[in-house]
Chain A
Amino acid sequence: MTLEGPDDLSDRERAAVEAELRCLGDDEFVTAERYTEWQVRGPTLEADIAVANIAQDELGHARLWYDLLEAFGHDQVDLIWERDPADFRHATLAERPYETGDWADPVLRGYLYDTYERLRVEALSESAYAPIADRVEKVLGEEEYHREHAHNWLERLCEDADGRRRVQAALDRLFPHALTLFARTDREEAVVDTGVRPVPLSELRREWRNVVTPFLGSLGLEVPVADHEALLPAARGRDGDHTDAWESLYNEFTFTYEQLGRDSAPALMPEPGEADADV
């Protein structure tokens, strides 16, 4: 059965769609926020441009998912600028601060995240909620380059012992946080059994480990093998429980809004459809 739009959803289906969209949108938004810290700080001009472009892609994807929440009556103010930081549902991987000056960190993090994103978004191509499925192809088309970028940099960094040591340190530090990408959504049972995302998270996690473990292993890295339960960090992100890094990141991106005493999201022009048709 296909659910064409907001009006076709029961309360339970709508809650499931919301729960899935909040994870998708918040991951993308917070990941992009972190990436911007690398702009003009990458190891080469080409790397600067690449990371800026990837950040822009992820913001574009955040907007695709947030658009669908706006169709439920939310707006930019309650989704971003005035949202309680404890209501964000991104994985802790997205919010962790970078190890200062360590390019291996965003490269490895991007690899873990973009590999995950491909699998989750591919699973959504079969979503029972048509507006989600409609966006899948576009997102996947833009994601391919992200993985190619990460692959190339990982191979380059792992060519010598010093680079490999730094990638390994990033892997040890970030792998547990990457596992929070697969932590349950607020309405996980409903997400799966209504077909909003027909593939359970446990299956996505297994597929993800089947991709990242041999690839990273082939670069001479040691990938944690323990069960996810033994590796997961204390804070899981998806339930609103975040690491200490989140508060400062949240304060940073809401700083200007707060400082200027805003209570709405200013726009350079009216939203489509809100302008006078006779203009």
Chain B
Amino acid sequence: MSEDAVDVEELDDLEGGPSYCTYTDYDHGVAVEELPATGEDADGPEAAVFDELRAVEDPEMPISVVDLGLIYSVTVADGHATVTMTLTYTGCPARDYLQEDVRQAAARAAGVDSAEVELVWSPEWNLEMVTEAGKADLREFGVSV
């Protein structure tokens, strides 16, 4: 920005005065190709890890972490599983709980001796990460998606 530039975007909403909170529906965001990882094409111990992860539910809603789109990748090398995942919200109070659930699930899979979880934040999670099966689970629960 040049020295005298005014940030127009920040001034835009001045015209109509204060606006009411409009957060009654959610921005769907942009679909990121190849994300989330759902394990559809996985085989061997990686497929076994995905099977275990599908049994791990979000602590607040009856939806698996796989269908919620939190899992970004699973690799298994020499019996050690690495799960890369994100969270919907940085302030998530269940962060450690969920990470540990995921780690233990991965470690239970056939062909896996040990597991670790790596937390990543980009690409940013958004509603497009939820699978069709996940959307059906959320609707069933009463969440409009």
Contact = CB atoms under 8 A, between A and B. Distances in A.
Interface residues of A, number: 46
Interface stretch (B46-54, B121-129, B131-139): B121-129
Given A270-B100, A272-B99, A135 B122 contact: yes
Given A60-B91, A269-B97, A277-B114, A137 B123 contact: yes
A60 B122 contact: no
Contacts of B11: 214-215, 218
Given A214-B6, A218-B14, A59 B91 contact: yes
A216 B1 CA distance: 19
Contact of A269 (B4, B10, B96, B116): B96
A273 B117 contact: yes
B19 interface: yes
B99 A60 contact: no
A61 B90 contact: yes
B120 interface: yes
A210 B5 contact: yes
B18 A152 contact: yes
B122 A273 contact: no
Interface residues of B, number: 39
Contact of B91 (A57, A155, A275, A279): A57
Which applies to chain B's interface (DSSP): helix, strand, loop or mixed? Answer: loop
A141 B107 CA distance: 33
Residue of B10, B91, B115 most packed against chain A (CB within 10 A): B91
Interface in B98-126: 99-100, 103-104, 107, 113-117, 119-125
A63 B91 CA distance: 8
A210 B122 contact: no
Contact of B90 (A57, A151, A210): A57
A60 B92 contact: yes
Interface in A225-279: 267, 269-273, 275, 277-279
Given A137-B122, A277-B114, A145 B104 contact: no
Nearest to A154: B18
A267 B97 CA distance: 11
Contacts of A67: 119
Contact of B13 (A151, A269, A270): A151
B67 to A, nearest CB: 21
B60 interface: no
B89 interface: yes
A140 to B, nearest CB: 9
B92 to A, nearest CB: 7
B77 interface: no
The 3 closest A-B pairs by CB, nearest first: A60-B91, A60-B90, A272-B99
Interface of B: 1, 3-7, 10-11, 13-14, 17-19, 21, 23, 89-92, 95-97, 99-100, 103-104, 107, 113-117, 119-125
23 contacts: A56-B91, A57-B90, A59-B91, A60-B91, A61-B91, A63-B91, A64-B121, A133-B122, A134-B120, A134-B122, A137-B121, A138-B125, A152-B19, A159-B18, A210-B1, A210-B3, A210-B6, A210-B7, A215-B10, A218-B11, A218-B14, A269-B100, A277-B104
Given A63-B90, A63-B95, A269-B97, 11 more contacts: A60-B91, A60-B92, A141-B124, A206-B3, A210-B1, A210-B4, A215-B14, A267-B96, A272-B100, A272-B117, A275-B100
